């Protein structure tokens, strides 16, 4: 359901848009990702691009991006501007830094997700993706995620490049890395509920299948017993088989184990099954036209009682 997916993504992004940071580099890299993907058609190039803080006109951007993104960029712009008042030697130099600086890398990925990411509700499926305009950007995002041990796939769709994740545990880990703690709790809650529901449904299906098999077997057994009773009479059966036959006629819905407990003395499930199989063989002999009173013994002679 598209609305459900959009709602869940929006909830995550609203939370991420309020993540606090006072670190100049973190603010810079998130701001850089947002401005690059929201307002630029170019792609980063690790070999020659020097990231700079390109400020934009917030008034003219109001109609282009969602309000929570504008709010986020305005917040980051203030952090960066404050940092510019106190220059130091730790300013960002190039994209290679993202591979070695954990905080900077995760800030950059937060910006990428806010700008071009989406997340399906785990009620439906485990799927997180980034829809990116250039192959170079897709490769960069995929490589950065792999630095943190997260597996990704890349696909092309209608001229755009898709970086995606389909593992529920890794999606949860990624959201935690970005700082979406409340969304992670909700995500895990939905996953647990879904797993529990699936487990209950599997058990119900198994129970239904077992009941169905029990009923079918019982009907076949009763049909054999009634055939024997009509053709030669239950009195022709040995006492042990006659006891089980009458118990089955009186209790058509019981399992073999339950049927064995009605006998005196009680017998095991395997013993009941063995006796019913002998009754089935006797019924099969009757269907094949053996003489009345013939037993299921190898010689086809009546059993001694």
Domain ranges of the chain: 2-179, 207-287
- pLDDT, position 139: 93
d(CA 156, CA 37): 17
Q: Cα Rg for the chain, rounded, in angstroms?
A: 36
Contact 192, 157 (CB under 8 A): no
Q: What distance in Å separates the CA atoms of residue 81 and residue 33, rounded to the nearest whole number?
A: 17
For residue 131, give the H/E element and its range.
strand 128-132
Q: Is the pTM of this model over 0.85?
A: no
Can you give the pLDDT of all 305 residues of the chain as single tens digits? Answer: 343 345 788 889 999 999 988 888 899 999 989 888 887 655 565 444 545 555 555 555 566 678 888 889 888 988 888 866 555 556 666 788 888 889 999 999 999 999 999 988 777 788 899 999 999 999 999 999 999 999 999 999 989 999 999 988 899 899 999 998 888 888 888 777 776 776 776 777 776 777 777 778 888 888 888 888 888 888 888 988 888 888 888 888 888 888 889 988 999 989 988 999 999 888 898 888 755 444 444 433 344 33
The structure tokens listed for 220 are 């076949």
d(CA 272, CA 258): 10
**CB contact at 8 A, 177 and 12:** no
**How far is it, in rounded angstroms, from Cα 134 to Cα 138?**
7
**What interhelical angle do 239-250 and 269-287 show, nearest 10?**
100
Q: Which CATH superfamily is domain 2-179 in?
A: Homing endonucleases (3.10.28.10)
């Amino acid at each position: 359901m598209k609305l459900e997916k959009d709602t869940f993504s929006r909830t995550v992004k609203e939370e991420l848009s309020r993540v606090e940071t006072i670190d100049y580099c973190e603010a810079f890299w998130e701001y850089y990702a947002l401005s690059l993907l929201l307002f630029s058609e170019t792609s980063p190039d690790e070999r020659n691009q020097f990231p700079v803080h390109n400020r934009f006109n917030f008034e003219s951007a109001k109609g282009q991006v969602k309000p929570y993104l504008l709010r986020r960029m305005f917040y980051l712009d203030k952090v960066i501007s404050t940092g510019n008042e106190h220059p130091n030697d730790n300013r960002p130099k190039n994209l290679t830094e993202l591979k070695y600086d954990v905080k900077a890398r995760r800030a950059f990925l937060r910006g990428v997700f806010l700008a071009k990411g989406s997340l399906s509700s785990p009620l439906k499926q485990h799927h997180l993706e980034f829809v990116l305009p250039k192959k170079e950007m897709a490769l960069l995002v995929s490589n950065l995620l792999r630095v943190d041990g997260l597996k990704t796939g890349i696909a092309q769709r209608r001229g755009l490049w898709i970086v995606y994740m389909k593992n529920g545990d890794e999606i949860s880990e990624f959201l935690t890395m970005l700082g979406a703690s409340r969304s992670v709790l909700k995500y895990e809650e939905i996953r647990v509920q879904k797993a529990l529901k699936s487990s209950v449904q599997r058990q119900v299906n198994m129970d239904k299948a077992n009941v169905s098999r029990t009923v079918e077997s019982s009907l076949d057994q009763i049909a054999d017993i009634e055939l024997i009773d009509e053709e030669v009479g239950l009195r022709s059966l040995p006492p042990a088989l006659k006891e089980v036959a009458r118990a089955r006629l009186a209790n058509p819905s019981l399992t073999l184990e339950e049927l064995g407990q009605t006998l005196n003395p009680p017998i095991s499930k395997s013993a009941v099954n063995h006796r019913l199989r002998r009754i089935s063989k006797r019924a099969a002999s009757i269907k094949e036209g053996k003489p009345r009173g013939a037993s299921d013994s190898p010689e086809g002679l009546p059993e001694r009682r």
